Amino acid sequence: MKNYYQPEIETASYEEIRRIQNEKIVKQVKHVYDNVPYYRNLMQQKGLTPDDIKSVDDIKKLPFLSKDDLREAYPFGLLGTDLKNIVRIQSTSGTTGKRVVAFYTQHDVDLWEECCARAIVAAGGTNEDVCQVAYGYGLFTGGAGLNGGSHKVGCMTLPMSSGNTDRQIQFMMDLGATILCCTPSYAAYIGESLAEQGYKPEDNKLKAGIFGAEPWTEEMRQGIEKSLGIKAYDIYGLTETSGPGVAFECEEQKGMHINEDHFYAEIIDPETGEVLPEGSKGELVFTSLDKEGFPLLRYRTKDICILSREKCSCGRTHVRMTKPLGRSDDMMIIRGVNVFPSQIETVLLKEGYPPNYQIVVDRVNNSDTFDIYVECPAELFSDKVSEMQTLEKNLNTAMRSMLGIGPKIHLVAPKTIERSEGKAVRVIDKRKLH
Amino acid sequence: MAITQLSAFLENTPGTLCETISAITAAGINIRALSVADTKDFGILRIIVSDIEKTKAAVSNDTVVKETPVIAVRMNDKAGALNSVLSVLRQAQINVEYVYAFTGAVAGNAYVVMRVDDIEHAEQTLAQNGIKTLSDSDIEDYLN
**Are residues A325 and A356 located together in one domain of the fold?**
no
Q: Does the pLDDT of residue A95 top 70, yes or no?
A: no
A317 and A339, same domain (yes or no):
no
Of A329, A360, A378, the residue that ends a domain is A329
Residues of chain B in contact with residue A388, where contact means CB-CB under 8 angstroms, are: 39, 42, 44
3-state secondary structure of A186: helix
Domain boundary at A309, A329, A349, which?
A329
Chain A nearest-CA distance from B141, in A, is 26
Query: For A169-178, A309-318, B129-138, which range has the lowest pLDDT when averaged over its residues?
Result: B129-138
Do residue B64 and residue B123 come from a single domain? no
User: Which residues, 6+ apart, have CB-to-CB distance to B100 below 8 Å?
Assistant: B33, B34, B35, B46, B112, B113
Indicate whether A399 pLDDT > 90: yes
A228 & A360 share domain: no
What integer pLDDT is reported at residue A419 of this predicted model? 62
User: How many CB atoms neighbour CB B116 within 10 A?
Assistant: 23
Total structural domains within chain A:
2
Whether A143 is covered by a domain: the verdict is: yes
Q: How far is B107 from chain A (nearest CA, A)?
A: 30
Q: Tell me: do A223 and A304 sit in the same domain.
A: yes
Q: Helices in chain B by DSSP H: which ranges?
A: 16-26, 52-58, 81-91, 119-128, 136-143
> Three-state SS for A261?
coil
Region A376-387: mean pLDDT is 91
Q: Has residue A112 been placed in a domain?
A: yes
CA angle, corner A245, sides to A87 and A402, nearest 5?
65
CATH of the domain at B50: 3.30.2130.10
- The pLDDT confidence band at residue A346, using thresholds 50, 70 and 90, is confident
What is the share, in percent, of chain A residues with pLDDT greater than 90? 78
Residue to mutate among B41, B60, B114, B115, with most A CBs inside 10 A, is B41
> Does the pLDDT of residue A175 top 90, yes or no?
yes
Q: Are residues B55 and B74 in the same domain?
A: no
Stretch A225-240: mean pLDDT:
97
In terms of domains, do A277 and A354 share one?
A: no
Q: What is the pLDDT of residue A6?
A: 97
Same domain (yes/no): A125, A166: yes
Q: How many angstroms separate the CA atoms of A434 and A215, rounded?
A: 8
Mean pLDDT of chain A: 93
B86 plus B129 within the same structural domain:
yes
Q: How far is B36 from chain A, CA to nearest CA, in Å?
A: 10
Residues B75 and B33 reside in one and the same domain: no
Q: Are residues B74 and B137 in the same domain?
A: yes
Structural domain for A405, as ranges: 333-429
Domain that holds residue B59: 3-68
Domain end: A283, A303, A329, which one? A329
Distance CA(A378)–CA(A389), nearest Å, equals 15
From A381, A410, A415, residue closest to B66, measured CB to CB? A381
Same domain as A370, residue A296? no
Question: Which residue of A360, A383, A395, A411 to mutate against B (max B Cβ within 10 Å)?
Answer: A383
Torsion of CA A420, A421, A426, A427, to 10 degrees: -60
Q: Do B61 and B90 reside in the same domain of the chain? A: no
Whether residues B75 and B137 share a domain: the answer is yes
Cis check: omega of the bond before A244, within 30 degrees of 0: no
| A293-321 pLDDT, tens digit each | 999 999 999 999 999 999 999 999 999 99
Alpha carbons A309 and B129: distance in angstroms, whole number: 90
User: What pLDDT score does A392 carry?
Assistant: 94
Assign residue B139 the CATH number of its domain.
3.30.70.260
- Per-residue pLDDT tens digits for B76-104: 888 888 899 999 999 999 999 999 988 77
A330 band by pLDDT with thresholds 50, 70 and 90 = confident
CA distance B66 to B51: 14
**A361 and A225 both lie in a single domain:** no
DSSP states of A281-322: EEEEEEEESS-SSS--SSEEEEEEEEEE----TTS--S-EEP
Residue A246 belongs to some domain of the structure: yes
Measured between beta carbons, the chain A residues lying within 8 angstroms of B115 are 383-384
Other beta carbons less than 10 A from residue A284's beta carbon: 27
**Does ipTM surpass 0.90 in this model?**
no
Domain count, chain B: 2
Q: Which residues of B touch A381 (CB under 8 A)?
A: 7, 9, 64, 66
The residue among B68, B101, B117 that closes a domain is B68
Does residue A388 share a domain with residue A255? no
- A384 to chain B, any CB pair closer than 8 A? The answer is yes
**Residue pair A11/A316 in contact by the 8 Å Cβ criterion:** yes
**Separation between Cα atoms, residue A176 and residue A204, nearest integer Å:** 7
Domain termination site, one of B29, B48, B68:
B68
Question: pLDDT category, A249, cuts 50, 70, 90?
Answer: very high
Q: Which one of B51, B68, B85 terminates a domain?
A: B68
Q: Are residues B41 and B74 in the same domain?
A: no
In this structure, are A230 and A338 located in the same domain? Answer: no
Verify that A181 and A161 share a domain, yes or no: yes
Instruction: For residue A1, tell me if it sits in a domain.
Output: no
CATH of the domain at A399: 3.30.300.30
Q: What is the pLDDT of residues B22-77, one digit of tens each?
A: 999 999 998 889 999 988 888 999 999 988 999 999 987 778 999 999 999 988 88
B43: left (phi over 0), alpha (psi -120 to 50) or beta: beta
Q: Does residue A318 lie in a domain region?
A: yes
Q: How confident is the model at residue A341 (pLDDT cuts 50, 70, 90)?
A: confident
CATH number where A273 lies: 3.40.50.12780
Asked if B100 and B56 sit in the same domain, the reply is no
Residues A140, A218 within the same domain = yes
pLDDT tens for residues A189-232? Answer: 899 899 999 999 999 999 999 999 888 888 889 999 999 999 99
Together in a domain, B18 and B50: yes
Together in a domain, B60 and B79: no
The pLDDT, as a whole number, for residue A138 is 94
**What are residue A224's phi and psi, to 5 degrees?**
-65, -45
Q: Say yes or no: B80 and B35 in one domain.
A: no
d(CA A356, CA A333): 21
